A and B are shown apart, each in its own frame.
Chain A
Amino acid sequence: MEVNSENIEMWIMMLVDDELSAEETKAVWRFMEQHPEYMDIYTAFREVKIPAEDTVYPDIHTLLKAEDDNAGVPPAAGRRIMFRYTGWAAAVMLLICAGWYGLRPAHEIPDDSQSMPTAHQHKPDTPYSGLPSGMKAVAAAKDTNTRNAEVVPGRPAKVVVLARQRNVIDASGKDPVPAVAVAEEEISRIRPMIGQGTNAPAQLAAAEMHMLPAVTQEQSPEKRESMLPPIAASLEQKALLDDIGKEMQEKATFVKDAYQVVKNSTIQINIGNKSFTIKK
């Protein structure tokens, strides 16, 4: 292509951009020597050349990949910090949930407890099964140790509940007679004082429960002490604690497994044309 006054500016730009061959470069310079007025154009093109700069990507390590990394590119620094402890947070949340679940009273645990047997399930025929509904509620509210209530053959269930409430019955039920006799006597004293209407069972239950502390206090400390089976009660409590311990152990194993699943998982989130990868 010939260099002339019509296209000299384009040639000058290409000269400044170092895009010309040696021969073309000579031709352009020769033309400018003959027409020095175009030197200003050359200067103008050189002035607007954008100078090279040393700019460094701020956190290049976030772009690098580990040798065994086959997932997506890690997120930018800010996002990485945000998700750094996600795995641990999830594990802690699971532990809290499991702890809460395991420490609830047995009667609040739903049917899924079938897979994790409780002390309550070992003794399905509780004394409450023979009680009117009103009394069940009152007895459950008053007796926080319901899971340990026993069935004593030949004795009405509510009598056994009363005896248990006062903690004067043998857990095995083998020798309950003194305590049960006391309880039967107490109920017989209460019964004449309540009405005969439709609410009678509930009134009886309420009255029985309200009477218990007073009746218990009527017994001398020595007599109460002699009625208590301390070793049996301790064994019973130990068995309960063992059951709770087993439950906790099972739940801890479950949480540990769940954490491993979370730890080994990679979650990729696509938002529009952005892609974020969360990986422990």
Chain B
Amino acid sequence: MTTAEFNDCVKEYADGMYRFALKSSGNEEDARDIVQHAFTVLWENREAVDITKAKSYLFTLVYRKSVDRFRAAGRQKLMDVLPEKGSEVIFQAGLKKSIEKALMSLSAESRNLVLLKDMEGYSYEEITRLTGLSLSQVKVYLFRARKELQKSLEIYKYHY
């Protein structure tokens, strides 16, 4: 990979990687560190990485780093972020926030699968390559994650 190709990767993938890392870690500084780490690794291994595989290489690095970080930090509780009652606007804003918080309450692996699928638009097949999981595992983990999110949403609606 040439320097120009590396810079193309930065321009094309940095935002998506940052978005994923930010949603996964819930922390801007951590997200920046994760993205920077991924590009550092890519730069150091640029001779060995083919440009056509760079995207999945980068997202794999971000995914793994995000899982590691979350394991070190521990889970966040959903119940302490339930919003106060109010208007429809507040309800919708609270709903979005509630989903985001519910996302943070998932295991790192489940959350990252949801993010890869929903936010980054990866297919199940692509996710298997990024994460090293089997297709069945991806489906099952995603299914469980979505059910957990639904449960959290129900709690929110009931509370509201």
A residues with a Cβ closer than 8 A to B are 9-10, 13-14, 17, 19, 44-45, 47-53, 55-58, 60, 62-67, 69, 72-73, 76, 273-275
Contacts and interface: CB of A to CB of B under 8 A. Distances in A.
Contacts, number: 92
B146 interface: yes
A66 B39 CA distance: 14
A50 B23 contact: yes
Given A64-B10, A76-B36, A17 B142 contact: yes
B7 interface: yes
A26 B37 CA distance: 44
B108 interface: no
Contact of A60 (B11, B117, B139, B142): B11
Interface string B83-107: 0000000000000100110110000
Contacts of A17: 117, 124, 142
22 contacts: A10-B139, A14-B139, A19-B123, A45-B146, A47-B153, A48-B102, A50-B23, A51-B118, A52-B118, A55-B15, A56-B18, A58-B32, A60-B15, A62-B36, A64-B11, A65-B7, A66-B3, A69-B3, A73-B39, A76-B32, A76-B33, A274-B37
B81 to A, nearest CB: 16
Contact of A73 (B23, B40, B118, B142): B40
Contact of A273 (B32, B37, B149, B150): B37
